[in-house]
Amino acid sequence: MVPDIPLNDGTTIPQLGFGTLNVPPERAPSEQNTAATAEIVGLALAGGYCHIDTAQMYGNEAGVGRAVAASGIPRDELYVTSKLGNGNHRPDDVRHSFAQTLDKLGLAELDLFLIHWPLPTLYDGDYVATWRAMTELVKDGRLRTQGVSNFQPDHLDRITSETGVVPAVNQIEVHPYFRNDAARAASAAHGIAVEAWSPLGQGAVLDDPVVGRIAAERQKTPAQVVLRWHIQHGHIVIPKSTRRERMEENISVFDFELSAEEMTAINALDKGADGRIGPNPDTFAWIP
């Protein structure tokens, strides 16, 4: 049902996955949170999601691993992404924390690992050494695909020119209120697939009258219209919901197509920098 799209390293990725930020609401890796995560991710897996997006900093990798193990889905039919925590940028910490990630997820090999934030104001601005350490994980055979998240055009230029290794994916904030054109265009210019986080603008764009009008005309929900807009832009999307009916709604976006006029109308909702919800990657410097 969910199409695979090709990446620049010869692999493919399911275009739609299940995001797990704030599943559950606390990041502490307690047994309670692990159980809650396992239950919600289990619902997603049972509902047809075969691509799960987690991160070291979400504190829920063990819960994702528990759901994956319980699902009985064959490993080669699952796609799992995690992301390097902001406290783990030193090359040794990349290696150690990646091993812990595999352990928590219960996997021998991870499909996709991303540098979560570039942190250009920390670690002497040396995200290149971090990127090189990720390359070693691929050479070791424990990681299939390496990518980045929240990388701005200059960050992409720098890692590719200094290492010769182009990320396969750049996971960035994108939704109709924040098209993030500069980062999307720079990613495309390098042949890097754009993955949209907070594809629904954390719910904000769902009340937009233009989205609402198109949804009513199409007999779809606002969330389906927005996710379809992403799909037609070629973005990988990872909507998150803790509710089973919304999970089902969000994955059911491959049976209709928005017209060029509808795409243009949604494109026009962009608010530029004012539409950004999350932190600015040039200045974000939070270490948990």
Given the rule CB under 6 A, which residues bind ligand A2P? Answer: 19, 198-203, 206, 221, 223, 239-243, 246, 249-250
Question: What Rg, from alpha-carbon coordinates, does the chain have?
Answer: 18
Give me the least distance between CB of 133 and ligand A2P, in Å please. Answer: 29
- The CA distance from 220 to 252, in Å, is 10
- The CA distance from 214 to 73, in Å, is 36
- The answer to whether the Cα torsion of 238, 241, 242, 245 is positive or negative is negative
Residue 82 or 97: the one with the smaller Cβ distance to ligand A2P is 82
- The CA distance from 87 to 31, in Å, is 23
Give me the least distance between CB of 191 and ligand A2P, in Å please. Answer: 26
Residue 47 or 87: the one with the smaller Cβ distance to ligand A2P is 47
Nearest to 169 by CA among 3, 55, 5: 5
At 199, the amino acid letter reads: P
Give me the least distance between CB of 101 and ligand A2P, in Å please. Answer: 22
At 279, the amino acid letter reads: P
- The answer to whether the Cα torsion of 27, 50, 96, 32 is positive or negative is positive
Give me the least distance between CB of 85 and ligand A2P, in Å please. Answer: 20
Between vectors from CA 71 to CA 70 and to CA 75, what angle results, nearest 5°? 110
DSSP classification of residue 178: B
**58 given a catalytic annotation:** yes
Residue 85 or 199: the one with the smaller Cβ distance to ligand A2P is 199
Query: Which one of 49, 58, 79, 177 is the catalytic residue?
Result: 58
Give me the least distance between CB of 248 and ligand A2P, in Å please. Answer: 9
Residue 40 or 159: the one with the smaller Cβ distance to ligand A2P is 40
Residue 96 or 243: the one with the smaller Cβ distance to ligand A2P is 243
Give me the least distance between CB of 47 and ligand A2P, in Å please. Answer: 13
Tokens 């949804």, located at residue: 215
Let me know: does 229 contact 205? Beta carbons within 8 Å: no
Between vectors from CA 114 to CA 37 and to CA 192, what angle results, nearest 5°? 125
Peptide bond into 24 cis (omega under 30): yes
Catalytic residues: 58
